[in-house]
Structure 1
Amino acid sequence: MDKIDRTLEAIERTRQKMIEASEQYGLSSKEVLKISQELDILLNNYQNSKESKVWVSFR
């Protein structure tokens, strides 16, 4: 399993965690905000990884 696959799995786990936290604490809770920020980082990492792969393939 490569880095992109691991990142995709982490994105899905974090997304599910955020959904569960929002059901338990409400959408504007500190818990949901923290998880949302974690998800943002994962999504940015995923996007950057994909862009790097595309860049390498064009060389």
Structure 2
Amino acid sequence: MSDTLLRKLEITREKMIQSGLEKGFLNDETIRLSEKLDQLLNLYQFHTTNDVNDYDKLD
């Protein structure tokens, strides 16, 4: 798993929380960051699921 992807997840989450607190949870920027975080989480899940499946094939 890429440390870069994990770092992007952390940074985006922090930005989303900060935006939500400062501008509101229905603010366009907050929603955009939330959608970006969703995409990154989906990518992370895809990679971790495939990594697990690759280990299963080793048996």
TM-score, length-normalised on structure 1? 0.89
**Residue segments in structure 1 that go unaligned for 5+ positions in a row:** none
Instruction: Decide which of 41, 47, 54 is 2:39's aligned counterpart.
Output: 41
What amino acid is aligned across from residue 33 of structure 2 in structure 1?
Answer: I
Q: What is the total number of aligned residue pairs between the two structures? A: 57
Shift of 1:20: 1.1
The amino acid across from 1:28 in the alignment is L
Q: Which runs of 4+ in 1 moved over 4 A?
A: none
Identity, % of aligned positions: 33
Q: Aligned partners of 2:13 and 2:56: how far apart in 1?
A: 32
Larger of the two Rg values belongs to structure: 2
Query: What TM-score, normalized to structure 2?
Result: 0.89
- Unpaired runs of 5+ residues, structure 2, are none
SS of residue paired to 2:29: helix
